[in-house]
Amino acid sequence: MTQHWSHTFYARQDQLTGWYGQDIHLFHKKQAARVTQHLGCTGTLLELGSGGGQFAVSAARLGHQVTALDLWAGAGEYTRTLASRYGTQVDVVTGDFYSVEVPGAFDSVCYWDGFGVGSDDDQRLLLGRIATWLAPGGVAFVDVYTPWYWAHHAGFTRAAAGYTQAYGFNADGCRMTDTYTAEDGPVTQSLRCYSPADLRLLLRGTELSLVDLWPGGHYDPHAGTFRPEVSLGECMTFTALLQTGTAPDAR
């Protein structure tokens, strides 16, 4: 059986860029503060695809009881190291979010920068699991890639030390592609992009509803500048706020 690209891509991306072992950035602190403000208090928090743990540790520092789940063992190692550097406690779980058993009901479930790795059926499976992980009244915060940003920026290429990075867009499948090419050949991640309307369709048949959304930022790859909050029609991702129960009227 062929291994899915997501099982190897992120470790390779880290080898090339060193992104996952970086320190906490102000961005992570603000993200943790915004989630906490929305919830109104700290509580139990499950982070999916938690990478190097920068958000997990930021949330733990604010008082959340954090479980950080990632498929890649190296991500868990980074998270443990970061938590210990900041003198905080994070429960690190290495496993596949489609199948791993994580007991407990969480006040919040977060998935930053990664939703869309699989097929629509995979995403629906994951959303169903998120519903079971949420405590009554709990909120899931899920970053979703937008089709418009990625279609517009397809073709952008940048050269860095030891590799080149190229954005692409598969219009038929509505997936952004992000390819790193080094001496030993290319590796690509491919993420399904959804508008809020698409996401509402995907959520049908799950227990979750889209209750709000936060437009994210816009990266101008040519200028190398990032605006952290722009309008929905400009953003590269939006954060979907999901809860079990009935959705408010569609926008």
Ligand X SMILES: C[S@@+](CC[C@H](N)C(=O)[O-])C[C@H]1O[C@@H](n2cnc3c(N)ncnc32)[C@H](O)[C@@H]1O
Q: How many residues does the chain have?
A: 251
By CB under 6 A, tell whether 145 contacts ligand X: no
49 touches ligand X (CB under 6 A): yes
Among 59, 64, 90, 112, binds ligand X (CB under 6 A): 112
* Among residues 78, 97, 149, 238, the one that binds ligand X under rule CB under 6 A: 97
The strand pair at 90-94 and 106-111 is best described as unpaired
Minimum distance from CB of 69 to ligand X (Å)? 6
Smallest separation, CB 163 to ligand X (Å): 16
- Phi/psi at 229 (nearest 5 deg)? -140, 120
**113 near ligand X (CB under 6 A):** yes
Contact in structure between 190 and 180 (CB atoms under 8 Å): no
- Among 61, 82, 106, 114, contact with ligand X (rule: CB under 6 A): 114
C-alpha to C-alpha distance for 167 and 149, rounded to whole angstroms: 11
Q: Position of tokens 């509402």?
A: 200
Number of residues engaging ligand X in binding (CB under 6 A): 17
Separation CA 13–CA 73 (nearest Å): 14
Q: Which of residues 57-96 bind ligand X (CB under 6 A)?
A: 69-72, 75, 96
Closest separation in Å from C-beta 247 to ligand X: 25
Q: Does 138 bind ligand X (CB under 6 A)?
A: no
User: Distance (Å, rounded) from C-alpha 22 to C-alpha 53?
Assistant: 9
Report residue 80 as tokens.
């443990």
Determine the Cα–Cα distance for residues 250 and 239; give it in Å rounded to an integer.
Answer: 16
| CB half-sphere exposure, 66, CA atoms < 13 A | 31
117 binds ligand X (CB under 6 A): yes
Residue with tokens 């926008």, as numbered in its chain: 251
Select from 44-52, 168-176, 194-202, 229-237 the region that touches ligand X (CB under 6 A).
44-52
Task: Give the nearer residue to ligand X in terms of CB position, either 100 or 247.
Answer: 100
Residues that bind ligand X (CB under 6 A): 6, 10, 49-51, 69-72, 75, 96-98, 112-114, 117
